[in-house]
């Protein structure tokens, strides 16, 4: 049984190309599509690097030529560059931690607002994978959002109760001190 896949098999699949564009979602989408293809073809670790880097074009291809030389100097010329190492240097260059952190923050701050349920769900799914340390499974995803909604409702109800109980917010009523004593002008 042969291990991996041939370059012909890989090329027949019309693999996605990457030209070095800087939009973070385009970067991530290329890597996700490439990983999906390489996994489906059962490529070896070494083939993954060779085939994925073949799909790099333009400035991304020039970046890889320089990076590959630097990695060989760092790792040793006879050492293979692993798929994990490729993804590490690729992400450091095209999808740096600061951008991933920004996406995680977008997820953390996500509210439905004017989005319909489908738009909200789509955005939720797109951003949720940036925070695997916050959300470990589907149940926790739902619980997290329900918890946020519950907390918001509790705060709103608390404000409503404060408003009802705070006589100073009602016109024409005497002010009441926090301790419950009535304030008489000039006397404490």
Q: What is the pLDDT of residues 168-177, one digit of tens each?
A: 544 444 444 4
For position 143, what pLDDT does the model report?
53
Q: Which of 22, 21, 51, 24 lies closest to 35, judged by CA?
A: 51
pLDDT of residue 187 exceeding 50, the answer is no
Q: What is the 8-class DSSP label of residue 159?
A: H
pLDDT at 37 over 90: yes
Are residues 83 and 11 located together in one domain of the fold?
yes
pLDDT of residue 147: 56
Tell me, yes or no, whether 41 lies in a domain: yes
Long-range contacts of 70-79 (CB under 8 A, 24+ apart): none
Confidence check: pLDDT of 160 > 60: no
- Kindly tell me if the per-residue pLDDT of 14 is higher than 60: yes
Q: Report pLDDT digits (tens) over 79-120.
A: 889 999 999 999 889 888 787 788 788 888 888 888 888 888
Same-domain status, 78 and 147: no
- Give 28's pLDDT tier (boundaries 50, 70, 90): confident
| Domain assignment of residue 34, given as a range | 7-95
Q: Looking at the domain assignment, is residue 34 inside a domain?
A: yes
pLDDT band at 179 (very low <50, low <70, confident <90, very high): very low
Q: 43 Cβ partners below 8 Å, 6+ apart? A: 4, 5, 10, 51
Burial label, 80 (beta-carbon count in 10 A; 0-12, 13-18, 19+)? middle
Instruction: Look at the pTM and tell me if it is higher than 0.75.
Output: no
* Crossing angle of the two packed helices 138-165 and 117-128, in degrees rounded to 10: 120
Cα–Cα distances (Å) from 115 to 26, 48, 112, 120, in that order, read 23, 39, 5, 6
Whether 62 maps to a domain, the answer reads: yes
The pLDDT value given to residue 10: 93
- Confirm whether 80 is domain-assigned: yes
169 falls within a domain: yes
Residue 144 and residue 87 in one domain: no
Q: Is residue 151 part of a domain?
A: yes
Query: Among positive and negative, which fits the CA dihedral 128, 55, 63, 81?
Result: positive
Cα–Cα distance for residue pair 7/114, rounded to 1 Å:
48
Q: Across the chain, what does the average pLDDT equal?
A: 77
- Counting every residue, how long is the chain? 188
């Amino acid at each position: 049984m042969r291990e991996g896949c041939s370059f012909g098999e890989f090329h027949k699949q019309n693999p996605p190309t990457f030209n070095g564009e800087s939009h973070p979602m385009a970067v991530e989408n290329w890597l996700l599509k490439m990983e999906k293809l390489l996994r489906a073809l059962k490529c070896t670790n070494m083939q993954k690097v060779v085939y994925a880097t073949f799909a790099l074009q333009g400035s991304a291809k020039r970046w890889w030529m320089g990076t590959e030389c630097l990695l060989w100097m760092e790792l040793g010329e006879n050492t293979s560059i692993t798929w994990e190492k490729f993804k590490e240097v690729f992400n450091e260059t095209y999808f740096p931690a600061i951008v991933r952190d920004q996406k995680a923050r977008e997820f953390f701050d996500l509210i439905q607002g004017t989005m319909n349920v489908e738009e909200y769900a789509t955005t939720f799914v797109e951003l949720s994978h940036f925070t695997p340390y916050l959300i470990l499974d589907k149940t926790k995803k739902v619980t997290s959002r329900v918890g946020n909604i519950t907390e918001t409702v509790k705060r709103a109800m608390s404000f409503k109760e404060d408003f009802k109980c705070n006589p100073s917010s009602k016109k024409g009523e005497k002010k009441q001190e926090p301790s419950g004593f009535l304030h008489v002008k000039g006397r404490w």
